[in-house]
Structure formats: C-alpha cells, structure tokens
C-alpha cells in the first residue's frame, strides 16, 4: 500500500487507502521483478492514476525504484493495465506487428488496443488477430 501511495505522490496524484479495493503480488518467472496488482475502487481513479503516470514519464523523468527509496540499483518502474490472457496475447501480437510493419505507436487505453502508423495519422482499434493480418497485408 505504501509503495502505491508513494508512487501517487511522485506523480502528483494523492491516493487515499480507501480508494484501493485490493492490492496483491503475482507470481513471476523472475523473482527480481515483483509485480503488484492494484484494484482501485473506481475506473475513473484507475484511469487518472495511469494517465498521470504516463504524463509524468513523458514530460518529466521516468520513475525508478531509486525515487521510491528502494535499496539496491535503480530499476525502472512500469505501470500498466492488467489485461485478461486473451488481450495480453493480442497486445503482444500487436506490438510485434507494429514493429515489423514500421508502425510508430501501439498502446492500450481502457482495456482496448490501439495502433497508429505515424504522428498525425488516424489511430485504429485492434479487436482481433484478423485486424493484424490486414495491417501486415497493407505493408
């Protein structure tokens, strides 16, 4: 809980303990990377936290464990939405397709996967693997 609240303070969003419904760790292949899952009480709170984290990393400096005063070497802190297995796989495939087809942007917002070829181009949603095959054929 303290780590989440401290992260919120660093990105200028005050998180109260009553705004967190549940918090827990999940098993990972690498014990050095300890994933924390936070379930906020409202989707609006979650979206606000994610947006402020992205904005902070984009406009100021990327957060590391050093900023949270963890001992040891500084490691980057990643914050993202927790997706169901099907969406995780689709996002993995979308990132791979974006890389191999020279798409500059691939991201998740509100649990939806989006891509954009270049700055200023229109973005589109990836709903299935069929959407990726269209991208691959057009390149």
In a domain, 106, yes or no: yes
Residue 134 pLDDT more than 90?
Answer: no
Q: What is the mean pLDDT of the chain?
A: 90
Number of domains in the chain: 2
Domain around 130: 85-138
Does residue 10 share a domain with residue 52?
yes
Does residue 53 share a domain with residue 6?
yes
In a domain, 123, yes or no: yes
**Residues 15-30: tens digit of each pLDDT:** 999 999 999 988 888 8
Which own/partner contact pairs does 6-13 have at CB distance under 8 Å and 24+ positions apart? 6/68, 7/53, 7/63, 7/68, 7/77, 7/79, 8/49, 10/56, 10/63, 10/67, 10/68, 11/49, 11/52, 11/53, 11/55, 11/56, 11/63, 12/52, 12/56, 13/48, 13/49, 13/52
In a domain, 71, yes or no: no
**Residues 87-102: tens digit of each pLDDT:** 999 999 999 999 999 9
Does residue 93 share a domain with residue 51?
no
pTM: 0.75
In a domain, 73, yes or no: no
């Amino acid at each position: 809980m303290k780590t989440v609240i401290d992260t919120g303070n660093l990105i200028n969003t005050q998180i109260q303990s009553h705004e967190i419904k549940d918090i827990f760790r999940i098993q990972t292949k690498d014990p050095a990377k300890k994933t924390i899952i936070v379930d906020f009480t409202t989707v609006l709170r979650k979206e606000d936290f994610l947006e402020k984290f992205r904005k902070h990393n984009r406009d100021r400096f990327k957060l590391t464990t050093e900023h949270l005063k963890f001992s040891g070497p500084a490691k980057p802190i990643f914050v993202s939405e927790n997706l169901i297995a099907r969406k995780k796989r689709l996002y993995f495939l979308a990132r791979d397709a974006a890389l191999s087809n020279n798409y500059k942007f691939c991201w998740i917002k509100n649990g939806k996967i989006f891509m954009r070829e270049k700055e200023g181009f229109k973005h589109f949603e990836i709903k299935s693997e069929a959407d990726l095959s269209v991208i691959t054929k057009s390149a």
